[in-house]
Homo-oligomer: A and B are copies of this chain.
Amino acid sequence: MSTSPLDTTEFRSKLSLLATLGVTVGVNLQRGQELIVTAPLEASTLVHHVTKVAYQRGARLVTCLYEDPGMIHDRFAHADDGTFDYAPEWFHRGIADAFENGAARLYIVGPYPDLLSGVPADKIVRAHRALARASQAETRCTSASRINWSTLPFATGSWAAQVFPDLPSDDASQALWKVVFDVTRVNGPDPYQAWQEHNRTLNTRRDYLRNRGYTSLRFHDGRTDLTVGLADGHTWVGGTVRAGNGIEGNCNIPTEELFTCPHRERVHGRVHFSKPLALAGTLVENLYVEFRDGLASTIKADRGLETIQALLASDDGARRLGEIGLVPHASVVSRAGILFYNALFDENAASHVAFGQSYAACLGIAREPSQQPEATGANHSAIHIDCMFGTSAMNVDGISETGRVEPLMREGEFVI
């Protein structure tokens, strides 16, 4: 009888390490604090490791709200059309109440790329909108980092099949887990120490960028030449976050990026995107965009042009930028050398822009909803699509209000 490669002592010990990183480096769970976990059913082994670590560190209670992809599939396959505008506010209100009472949150994220293939987009959009409405109070606690929270990846079988379509399923899972353990720094002599150093590097560069207060960035590698003006009052985000409750952790594991908010009208130049985009089941390859006054005025692609054009036509803000992210070419995610079909990973593989919605956190987490982010130049849209354009030849300059130009990256790597 052959044993699954995922049923070995070595694998279990790495999964346990990943769980430990999530609870310590990620959530930074405090003694006496309650922890709410969400995870797909398939990730129950990782949930058990998280549970054990959390209790050993003094968790008051660990609750996992399992997500069942089979139930989601069955809903879209069998529910009455009229029901898709409903989402369970009682469920999300409950979580928000827990947050108000001191709970922390860990998202265990495992993609199911084919789950909704064939479902009319309209149903998905309506369900998504209803969910966003019903979970407003809950998501505000995490998106504005009022509480300590983090995200851990789980290599689901269907995700592994997407990333390694030519491998048998066991091999694909093993291959994806190897990469996941690489980029989360589990594969190393001292993962905890590695994260301490990594955070020190990220935080130092983030604070440098905050202190320099550049008004724009210029990206140039011979082919791309893009100037990205930054929103007024923008702040750089990345590395660790000190939540509103005072607890400091990493919201994403893995994380390699430092990012902030572009000014929606101050983006100029041309950009050759260096990685394919996986969008709604379509691959967009060799995307090329020219910007004028913040607007994507020319859009070309060797493949998937119609898909990206349709998405960028979603609303007024969809053709403008909501995020600019810096990632060194030598980042552990980039070195994995594969397309993950997943933003949590791919956006950590190369410098990127995102079309669409900007992040409130990039305008300072203390900002009140009553203030108008638009006044700062922040962008607003129903979409947020990360597009990677970093290369090994990329140079990045920071340009200050006085026009002073300072090198930030040379040939893909930071020089600060």
- List, in ascending order, chain B residues with CB within 8 A of A58's CB: 80
Task: Tell me, in angstroms, the Cα distance from A91 to B94 when the chains sit together.
Answer: 6
Assess the B74–A51 pair: CB atoms within 8 A: yes
**Total copies of the chain:** 2
Given A86-B61, A93-B97, verify A52-B66 contact (CB < 8 Å).
no
Tell me the chain A residues, 13-55 only, with Cβ under 8 Å from chain B.
31-32, 34, 41, 44, 47-48, 51-52, 55
The minimal Cβ–Cβ distance linking A44 to chain B, given in whole angstroms, is: 6
Cβ 8 A contact of A90, one of B48, B64, B68, B97: B97
Given A68-B66, A78-B56, verify A90-B95 contact (CB < 8 Å).
yes
Assess the B71–A62 pair: CB atoms within 8 A: yes
Given A47-B68, A68-B47, verify A79-B98 contact (CB < 8 Å).
no
Given A44-B68, A55-B74, A78-B56, verify A61-B90 contact (CB < 8 Å).
no
Assess the B66–A51 pair: CB atoms within 8 A: no
Assess the A52–B74 pair: CB atoms within 8 A: yes
Cβ 8 A contact of A98, one of B34, B60, B90: B90
Chain A residues with CB under 8 Å of chain B are 31-32, 34, 41, 44, 47-48, 51-52, 55-56, 58-66, 68, 70-71, 74-75, 77-80, 83, 86-88, 90-91, 93-95, 97-98, 101, 103
Pick 14 A–B contacts, CB within 8 A, sort by A.
A41-B66, A44-B70, A48-B68, A51-B71, A56-B78, A58-B80, A59-B79, A60-B83, A62-B74, A62-B75, A66-B66, A90-B103, A91-B94, A91-B98
